[in-house]
Each structure stands twice: as C-alpha cells, then as structure tokens.
Structure 1
Amino acid sequence: MSGAASELTRWIAVRQCEGRTIEVIASDAERAALAERFALVSVDRLAATLTLSRDGEKVSAEGTLKAAIVQSCAVSGEDLPAEIDEKLVFLFVPAKGDFNSDEEVELDESDLDEIPYEGDRFDLGEAVAQSLALAIDPFATGPDADRVRREVGLDEPEKENPFAKLKGLDLN
C-alpha cells in the first residue's frame, strides 16, 4: 500500500489483534472521498467485518465486504447501481527491509497475497478500500447500452472503425 493518506484509514496495532473482530464502516465523508478516488457516481454504503488472528508479527484478517455503489455505464454513461458482497482475506506482514525501486524483485505466489506494513500497526481501512476498487466492474453496462451501441454504430462490424487504420502501423 502506498504511503499516501487513505480516504478510509483504520490503524490497527499488531499486539491487539488476536481474536478481535473489527467493523470498518465508512462515514459519509469517507464514502464521498472513495467515490471520487474510484471515479464512481457515489458510494452509498460500505461496511466490512473482519476477524483478526495473529501469528507472531503476521496478522490474518478474514471476513466480508458489503457495499452499495452507483457507477456510470461503460457505454451510455447512465447511473448504474451495483451491490458488492465480497469475501475478504488479508495477510499483513512486516515490510522486508529497504526497497530499491531500480532493483528487480522476484515474488513467490504466496507473496502476492501479503500486505506489508511498517512499525507496529497496519491500515485495515486502506486494505478494505483497495478491495472495493477490485470489486468494481469496469465494464458494467446498463439497460440502454445496446441502444447507444446501435446509435453510434458500435454493433456494426462492417462499419469502419476509426482505430482500424492504426492496427497496421509499425510504431517502433
């Protein structure tokens, strides 16, 4: 996770994790900021319930994310309400030393599920926010999408695509 401030910050101390259940419920201001961050019309509801367990300095968090969002249809731009109900599984681990951005890093498959933290706490809220972003369908379409496709000619394969001329260009 980046060092930038999150719209949904919930700092959790590692030493206080064992057997704890945490509810992350976004306030009106947090939901508005998340809607802006993820280019949504609105985030009407966002709540996650996670049970934490600790193994030394590693903390696992398992639970669910439930949200109600309104996004824009990918074709017509109309408001499109969506419900999100996702299972969440996080593993927070201590950050591994200094990171050099010029250095190539090999990741094991298990590393991809780990969220590094520095110090003695981690931001559970940002992990929930990023999970919301991953749950959003970037190609969601509404009931008017087919009509709009017909109106602009996207459903006519014989009609010349303005990008077709770029296909044959050698851009190297």
Structure 2
Amino acid sequence: MPPDRLEFSRPLALGRVGPEGRTEVLEASGPERAALARRFGIPAVDSLRATLRLVPEEDGAVMVHGRLEAAVVQDCVVTLEPVPQQVAEDIAFRLLPEGREPAEGPDEPDEIETEGGIAELGEAVAEQLALALDPYPRAPGAELPAEATDEAAGAFAALAPLRGKV
C-alpha cells in the first residue's frame, strides 16, 4: 500500500538508525485506530502502542525487536457480541536495505523490504497486530451448539470411506 494510503504510517530512514541503534515508540491516534479497525474488519482498536529497538546489522539490514500492546474489540464467532481483548506480543522483524530480496525460512524473522532507504514502521506494526488478533474470539460462556459440531463431524465422516482410494 502506498505510504499516503496507510492507516498507520511511521516512516523512518534506515540511515537514521546509527551504529548504536535506536529506540522508537509508536502510538496510533484515534483516527488511525479507527482506520485500522475498518481494515481488520473488527469493531474497534481502542489502543495501539509498540516499543521497538532497532539495531543495525553488518549487511545493511536493521534488526527490530520490540513489544506490541493493543486493546481491541472483536465480534464473538458464536454470538456476534463485542469481545474486548488485550494483545501483548513480543515482535521481531528485519528491515532490508533497498534492492535486497527477503529470504524465507521458518525459523527466521519476517524480512521487510524498504523503498528509497525508508522503512515503514507503522505498517510493519499494523501487520504484526493483524497476525496477533484472535481468529476465533468468543464471549465468556459462548459455546457452539452441539448440532453444529455434530454436523461438521458428520460431513467429514461421510468422506471417510473415500480415504486411500485416490
């Protein structure tokens, strides 16, 4: 997404990190949180704050470690009632110098490309929040009806005789 269209834009020139590293604290404003809630399809992002420690690496990349804290409201998957939730996650990602392609490995932190030597820290934090959201939020005491779980089991049970015949 172009920087002028990002809901939570916090650009940082990699050259400003310096050899000793840098700490950045990002906090989303009310309009930014409302825009992120719309993007994520949830009722609200009540707060969003990230504290990031940026450390340069010898290859020109910048390693980022930090803490993401947010208060969000999601819809219960059973009752559709609003479910307030707290997000508190340690996050880590690597900002790549311009022109370097991300390497993908299961044990490596996410690698984020930069453009013109500018890292978009706000977007990186927004993506981390999206990954941290509960995919199946439930209101206290909300349970799936027994028939819903039986029907799902029945659908798969009907396929069991086909196993191994392909």
TM-score range, shorter chain: 0.7 to 0.9
Which runs of structure 2 are paired with 1:124-143 in the superposition (5 Å)?
124-143=121-140
Q: Percent identity?
A: 38
Q: How many residues align?
A: 156
Q: For structure 2, which runs of at least 5 residues remain unmatched after alignment? A: none
| 1:164 aligned residue (152, 155, 165) | 155
TM-score normalised by structure 2 residue count: 0.80
TM-score normalised by length of structure 1: 0.78
C-alpha change, 1:3 and 1:72, in structure 2 (3 Å) is same
CA contact (8 A) 1:76 1:144 kept: no
Counterpart pick for 1:114 among 111, 119, 132 = 111
CA distance change for structure 1 residues 13 and 106 in 2, over 3 Å: closer, same or farther?
closer
Contact 1:14/1:122, CA 8 A, preserved across alignment: yes
Verify: 1:10 aligned to 2:10, yes or no: yes
Give structure 1 stretches of 5+ with no counterpart.
100-104
Cα RMSD of the aligned pairs, angstroms, is 2.8
Deviation at 1:8, TM superposition (A): 0.6
TM superposition outliers: structure 1 runs of 4+ over 3 Å: 105-112
Matching residue within 63, 66, 70 for 2:66 = 63
Counterpart amino acid of residue 131 in structure 2: L
Equivalence for 2:88:
85
Deviations 1:31-84 (A, max 9, x none): 000000001110000000111111252111111000000000111111000000
Change (3 A) 1:17 1:64: same
